[in-house]
Amino acid sequence: MKALAKILTGVLVLAACSPAPESATETTDTAQETTRIVNVYSSRHYASDRAIYAAFTEETGIEVNLIEAGGDQLIERVRADGERSPADVLITVDAARLYRADEAGLFAPTDFSGMLPDIADHLIHPEGHWVSLAKRARVIAYSVDRVDPSEISNYEDLAGPEWEGRICIRSSGNVYNQSLMAGLIARSGEEAAEAWAQAINNNMARAPQGGDTDQIRGIAAGECDVAIVNNYYYGSLARSDDPANNAVAEAVGLIFPNQDMGGTHINVSGAGIAVNAPHPEEARELIAFFLGDFGQRAFAEMTNEYPVVETTQWDNPVLEASLPFVEDTRNVNELGENNAVAQRVFDRVGWQ
Q: Is residue 106 located within the same domain as residue 179? A: no
Query: pLDDT band for position 4 (50/70/90)?
Result: low
Q: Is residue 186 located within the same domain as residue 118? A: no
Q: Is residue 91 located within the same domain as residue 164? A: no
The CATH number of residue 295's host domain is 3.40.190.10
pLDDT digit string (tens) for 136-161?
Answer: 999 999 999 999 999 999 999 999 99
Q: Is residue 53 located within the same domain as residue 12? A: yes
Q: State how many domains the chain has.
A: 2
Residues above pLDDT 90, as percent of the chain? 87
Q: Is residue 297 located within the same domain as residue 189? A: no
Q: Is residue 59 located within the same domain as residue 116? A: yes
What per-residue confidence (pLDDT) applies to 17? 41
Query: pLDDT band for position 3 (50/70/90)?
Result: very low
Domain range for 72 is: 2-135+267-315
Q: Is residue 177 located within the same domain as residue 259? A: yes
Instruction: Output the 3-class SS for the chain.
Output: CHHHHHHHHCCCCCHHHCECCCCCCCCCHHHHHHCCEEEEEECCCCHHHHHHHHHHHHHHCCEEEEEECCHHHHHHHHHHHHHHCCCCEEEEECHHHHHHHHHCCCECCCCCHHHCCCCCHHHECCCCCCEEEEEEEEEEEEECCCCCHHHCCCHHHHHCHHHCCCEECCCCCCHHHHHHHHHHHHHHCHHHHHHHHHHHHHHECCCCCCCHHHHHHHHHCCCCCEEEEEHHHHHHHHCCCCHHHHHHHHCEEEECCCCCCCCECEEEEEEEEECCCCCHHHHHHHHHHHCCHHHHHHHHHHHCCEECCCCCCCCCHHHHCCCCCCECCCCCHHHHHCHHHHHHHHHHHCCC
Which amino acid, one-letter code, is at 197?
A
> Is residue 124 classed exposed, middle or buried when 0-12, 13-18 and 19+ CB atoms within 10 A define those classes?
buried
User: Residues 310, 119: contact at Cβ < 8 Å?
Assistant: yes
Which amino acid, one-letter code, is at 297?
R
Q: Is residue 6 located within the same domain as residue 21? A: yes
Which amino acid, one-letter code, is at 85?
S
pLDDT digit string (tens) for 91-116?
Answer: 999 999 999 999 999 999 988 777 77
Q: Is residue 251 located within the same domain as residue 272? A: no
pLDDT (average), residues 180-203: 97
> Is residue 114 classed exposed, middle or buried when 0-12, 13-18 and 19+ CB atoms within 10 A define those classes?
exposed
> Does the residue 33 lie in any domain?
yes
Q: Is residue 213 located within the same domain as residue 341? A: yes
> Does the residue 221 lie in any domain?
yes
What per-residue confidence (pLDDT) applies to 114? 77
Mean per-residue pLDDT of the chain? 91
> Does the residue 320 lie in any domain?
no
User: Residues 248, 237: contact at Cβ < 8 Å?
Assistant: yes
Q: Is residue 235 located within the same domain as residue 109? A: no
pLDDT digit string (tens) for 45-75?
Answer: 999 999 999 999 999 999 999 999 999 999 9
> Does the residue 46 lie in any domain?
yes
User: Residues 78, 42: contact at Cβ < 8 Å?
Assistant: no
**Half-sphere exposure of residue 277, counting CA atoms within 13 Å on the CB side?**
23
Task: Point out the least confidently predicted range of 107-116, 198-207, 218-227, 284-293.
Answer: 107-116
Q: Is residue 26 located within the same domain as residue 109? A: yes
